[in-house]
Chains A and B, each alone.
Chain A
Amino acid sequence: MTAFLRSAFLSFGLAWVTSSTPLAATLHPLEVPVLAAAVQAGSLAPVEERVPQRPFIVRYGGTEKTAGRHGGELRTLMGKARDIRMLVVYGYARLVGYDEHLAFVPDIVERYEVEDNRVFTFHLRPGHKWSDGYPFTSQDFRYYWEDVANDKDLSPLGPPTVLLVDGQPPEVEIIDETTIRYRWNHPNPNFLPALAGARPLFIYRPAHYLKQFHARYESEGELEEKVAKFATRNWAGLHHRMDEMYRFDNPDLPTLQPWMNTTRPPSERFVFARNPYYHRIDEQGRQLPYIDRVIVNIASSSLVPAKTGAGESDLQGRYLRLDNYTFLKAGEQRHNYAVRLWRTAKGSQIALYPNLNTSDHVWRELLHKSAFRRALSLAVHRHEINQVIYFGLVFESANTVLPQSPLFRPEYQRAWADFDLEKANALLDEIGLTERDSRGIRLLPDGRPAEIIIQSAGESTEESDVLELIHDSWLQVGIKLYTRPSQREVFRNRTFAGDTVMAVWSGLGNAIPTPSMSPEELAPTSQQQLQWPKWGQYYETRQRAGQLPVLDSVRELAEHNAQWRYATTAEAQKRIWHAMLKIHSEEVFTIGTVAGVPQPVVISNRLRNLPPEGTYHWDPGAYFGIYRPDTFWFEK
Chain B
Amino acid sequence: MLRYIALRLLLMIPTLLVISLIVFTIIQLPPGDYLESYIAELQSQGESVDPEKIAFLREHYGLDKPFHVQYGHWLLGLLQGDFGYSFEFDMPVTQVVGDRLVLTVLVSFVTIIFTWIIAFPIGIYSATHQYSWGDYGLTFLGFIGLATPNFLLALVMLYLANVFFGTSIGGLMDPGYIDQPWSWGKVVSVLEHLWIPVVVIGTSGTAGMIRRLRANLLDELQKQYVVTGRAKGLPPFKLLTKYPLRMALNFFIADIGAILPSVISGAEVVAVVLSLPTTGPMMLNALQSQDMYLAGSFLMFLASLTVFGVLLSDLALAALDPRIRLQGGVRR
Contact = CB atoms under 8 A, between A and B. Distances in A.
Contacts of B158: 306
B170 interface: yes
Task: Report which residue of A236, A237, A266, A490 has the largest number of chain B beta carbons within 10 angstroms of its beta carbon.
Answer: A266
B85 A231 contact: yes
A82 B41 CA distance: 11
B30 A233 contact: no
B47 A199 contact: yes
A295 B274 CA distance: 20
- The number of chain B residues touching the other chain, given as a range, is 35 or more
A233 B46 contact: no
A160 interface: yes
Given A266-B89, A295-B175, A487-B31, A157 B56 contact: yes
A249 B44 contact: no
A306 B92 contact: no
A619 B162 CA distance: 37
B60 interface: yes
Nearest to B57: A240
A82 B179 contact: no
Contacts of A197: 48
Given A157-B52, A269-B178, 13 more contacts: A161-B51, A199-B48, A231-B91, A233-B60, A236-B60, A267-B178, A267-B179, A268-B179, A297-B178, A307-B168, A312-B175, A459-B44, A489-B32
> Main secondary structure on chain A at its contact with chain B?
loop
A81 interface: yes
The 3 tightest CB contacts between A and B, nearest first, are A269-B178, A618-B46, A300-B275
A75 B59 CA distance: 38
Interface string A332-343: 000000000000
Contact of A303 (B56, B92, B96, B275): B275
Interface string A258-280: 00000101111100000000000
B46 A617 contact: yes
9 contacts: A80-B285, A82-B89, A199-B47, A268-B179, A300-B273, A318-B45, A487-B32, A489-B32, A619-B46
Given A198-B47, A241-B90, A269-B179, A299 B32 contact: no
Contacts of B99: 266
A155 B56 contact: yes
Contact of A266 (B48, B51, B95, B162): B95
A310 B162 contact: yes
A40 interface: no
Interface residues of A, number: 48
Contacts of B47: 198-199, 618
A482 B274 CA distance: 38
B286 to A, nearest CB: 12
B277 A509 contact: no
Contacts of A269: 175, 178-179
A367 B179 CA distance: 59
A302 interface: yes
Nearest to A295: B175
A299 B162 contact: no
Interface in B241-298: 272-275, 277, 281, 285
B36 A489 contact: yes
Contacts, number: 105
A299 B170 contact: yes
A59 interface: no
B159 interface: yes
A297 B275 CA distance: 11
A82 B45 CA distance: 13
Contacts of A297: 171, 175, 178
Contacts of B46: 346, 509, 617-619
A303 B170 contact: yes
B178 A489 contact: no
A488 interface: yes
Nearest to B55: A157
Contacts of B85: 231
A247 B179 CA distance: 20
Given A268-B178, A487-B31, A618 B281 contact: no
B40 interface: yes
A525 to B, nearest CB: 13
Interface string A540-576: 0000000000000000000000000000000000000
A268 B168 CA distance: 14
B194 interface: no
A537 to B, nearest CB: 13
Interface string B137-181: 000000000000000000100110010000011110001001100
A575 to B, nearest CB: 27
B291 to A, nearest CB: 11
Contacts of B179: 263, 267-269
A245 to B, nearest CB: 13
A231 B92 contact: yes
B52 A161 contact: yes
Contacts of B159: 306
A512 B258 CA distance: 57
B55 A306 contact: no
Interface string A80-118: 111000000000000000000000000000000000000
Nearest to A459: B44
A617 B48 CA distance: 12
Interface in A236-262: 236-237, 240-241, 244, 247, 249
